[in-house]
Structure 1
């Protein structure tokens, strides 16, 4: 006899589709992988639109006569609103659901991307980049929420790695293409093309994505039972469910999230990881053009190698972490080991200061970006630790800490380049930051377990 399920109280998604009885579902399905494919694509678009400026920047700086510090401010400006809105958008996701928050954000940031082509000076460039950051703020808290809703704990490492890989494969493919667009059609074309891609995908997103597997007609009863199987890390007890249905005190929730030592180890580590990431997302093409004397097109093709290395690192880190967990290793070891190894390997970026050989420079950079891919397992680690009721808000705090690195790193590098005339000390700054991240993981995260709300 089939039964009709009711919506869990924690979602509060408006206008959710009616839930289907088991008899109306397909016999067997793997619809969660379709959801993951959508997350992969939207994440690729997300990173394409936040990093297209770095490809066009060598031409933009000439048109608008920008100093290195001004370029640093411009590259940093994306993160200002993005950073400040992480906690509010995390809260929004907890209330309205990830589908709506992410979908409308996609439309907004795609329009902001296209608007970059209309800018006429430094001030308008800053304004549009701030708007872009505001619209992209729900991205990773939404990703995290959907993975928690759609995947059992044993699959979350690989699921997180898969959608995160979208960051890098999009960049690896786009870097040479956008470089060619910049040289042959002008830098304005880069923003028009990438903005149009996001608007087209928004149609797919609203038609194919659901906040919870219970809402999707493509999920079988068998798959639904598999997704909902509990483990010791993710069982939501009756008290937590009851609390989730009541209006929550955001300050009490933030006290939970900001007074836990283990969570602070994750926050500091994420700041360090993001500092490596944002070097590659912002200054890396300019580093190749200005420090290593490459042309824009050549730099675009060489830049693909580190992006592909990061893709491999992300997939390896997630799969390896899940495999260790499923083979009996402790959750603490399985989740921490890939990230800590990533911090150690990322320090090799400093070696690029000691050679002018392009293949050797790209090798060092590829190892460092591979290491940053390993660090992306930190999202799976955080998902296993944050209170389940606070997945959205906690994801906002976690991403806030990460993007503090995203705001600071481009600006610091711009100032260093202006003061020294070289990227040497900029790479040294990255080396210091990853050492701090390694220490935070080693000293503050003694155990990975669910924090009590």
Structure 2
């Protein structure tokens, strides 16, 4: 009888932790992605060309990329709870301030400061997952968290389009600040850096994590390696480069999609909000399926990443070459599905590779590569669009080259970590 009970699903503290982290990530994407839908209206109000619009998008990533590694190191040193709560409160304030700005230089400064707050969050959140989840569940938990990479832009597109149509672009930013402050309060009062200190933890759940008294993290997945030692391993820099190239495509795809649909495919604002969200909802399915499959081919994740990334590139090409606007949405959706299948496989590799004791610092380093791409990609795309006199074709070629290159670099990864404590070879 007891065996049957153990086999069934039971809600645990780690599931509540993941739910709150998921909400934090969702609002991080809402807060950052509404700028993409708002951009044509901001440009009209502030009299901006495409290059200047790209600079607004890139200003966020300047701060976001800059604080990936410091944010992760702070989480390793002071605990993920304080870092996550402070980060969400900080970026929520600057998200609201975005809607009050009337000057282009101040807009750049505000978006950079907004990015600094968000930059402290990712490494801390991955450390929280590695602390509260046993290694056999971490890839799935990370995939669930990563579903906001697609769901966030989808919801942001719908929410922003509806609010902008009714109240204007400024209102959407002001309104998004309060939910973030509530999530920050939930993290501050509910999370504990050591699971053994959490009042709702059971002995059975603690046993799954192998938590030792006085430890700040679970034993599972930890090792004696330091971050200074880990940065000497080629595998870390391979992952940084893969994520940099992949995110060139990802951030170009999500940042300029609304403008592409309105300017090239001549969709209305409301149609852009509805139809433009479809590729991201499809991508959410791809992310969750990718995480599920990634856990079942552990040790072979790169062979899941490579074909999916290449297929995504093929359908990106079809997106901008097909004459039919409706078929462009279909191809965007297919590309999104395979792109985020690949993303789930990649982060399964990351979570399987990095020991828990340095998860904040090392995962922040990997994510720095992606956010450096987020700084570069929107600006370069804006420049290519201006140079091409409004055509998006060259910009799409830029995205395709990047995702194909990410698959090429993935071929150089030799093997994954075989057990929880061993360092990964390169």
Provide the TM-score with structure 2 as the length reference. Answer: 0.90
CA distance in 2, matches of 1:109, 1:166: 17
C-alpha displacement of 1:292: 1.0
1:394 aligned residue: 362
Q: Deviations over 1:201-243 (max 9, x none)?
A: 222222222223212111111111113399xx95545xx2xx8
Q: Which runs of 4+ in 1 moved over 6 A?
A: none
Q: Tell me the equivalent position of 1:363.
A: 330
8 A Cα contact 2:353 2:424, kept in partner: no
Once residues 99 and 52 of structure 1 are traced to their aligned partners in structure 2, the CA distance between those partners, rounded to angstroms, is 27
Specify the SS of the correspondent of 1:364. Answer: helix
Structure 1 residues 289 and 235, CA, compared in 2 at 3 Å: closer, same or farther? closer
Deviates more, 1:354-363 or 1:284-293: 354-363
Runs of 5+ consecutive residues of structure 1 not aligned to the other structure: 1-27, 245-252, 325-330
Residues 1:56 and 2:34 are matched in the alignment: no
1:161 is matched with: 143
Aligned in 2, Cα 1:344/1:234: closer, same or farther, shift over 3 Å? farther
User: Residues 106-121 of structure 1 correspond to what in structure 2 (within 5 A)?
Assistant: 106-121=88-103
| 1:158-186 CA distance string (max 9 Å, x none) | 10010111232233233222101112101
1:374 aligns with 2:341: yes
Say which SS state the counterpart of residue 147 (structure 2) adopts.
helix
- Compared CA separation, residues 383 and 358, structure 1 to 2 (3 A): same
Match of 2:7? none
Q: Report the alpha carbon displacement of residue 336 of structure 1 after superposing the two structures with TM.
A: 2.0
Partner of residue 17, structure 1 = none
Q: Secondary structure at the match of 2:204?
A: helix
**Are the aligned partners of 2:40 and 2:259 in contact in 1 as well (CA < 8 Å)?**
yes
Q: 2:396 aligns with which of 407, 417, 427?
A: 427
Structure 2: stretches of 5+ with no match in the other structure = 1-9, 213-218
Distance in 1 (CA, whole Å) between partners of 2:351 and 2:221 is 13
Residues 29 and 47 of structure 1: CA distance in aligned 2, closer, same or farther (over 3 Å): closer
Superposition pairs of residues 264-303 of structure 1, within 5 angstroms: 264-303=237-276
Matching residue within 159, 178, 201 for 2:160: 178
Quote how far apart the aligned CAs of 1:29 are: 5.7
Change in Cα spacing, 1:254 to 1:358, as seen in structure 2 (3 Å) is farther
2:353 is paired with a residue whose SS is: coil
8 A Cα contact 1:309 1:366, kept in partner: yes
* TM superposition score normalised by structure 1: 0.85
Question: Given the superposition, is the C-alpha separation of residues 404 and 254 from structure 1 closer, same or farther in structure 2, using an over 3 Å criterion?
Answer: farther
Relative to structure 1, the CA distance from residue 235 to residue 303 in structure 2 (aligned partners, 3 Å threshold; closer, same or farther) is closer
Of 308, 323, 332, the match for 1:342: 308
C-alpha distance in 2, partners of 1:337/1:142? 28
Tell me how far apart the structure 1 counterparts of residues 139 and 385 of structure 2 sit (CA, whole Å): 37
Note if contact 1:276-1:372 (Cα within 8 Å) is conserved in structure 2: no
Question: RMSD of aligned C-alpha atoms?
Answer: 2.0
Aligned partners of 1:446 and 1:401: how far apart in 2?
20
Contact kept? 1:145, 1:392, Cα under 8 Å:
yes
Corresponding residue number in structure 1 for 2:124: 142
CA–CA separation in structure 2 for the residues paired with 1:409 and 1:88: 23
Deviates more, 1:342-351 or 1:108-117: 342-351
Residues 227 and 256 (structure 1), Cα distance of their counterparts in 2 relative to 1, 3 Å cut: closer
Check the 8 A contact 2:246/2:370 in 1, yes or no.
yes
Distance 1:204 1:236 in 2: 27
**1:451: how far off?**
2.7
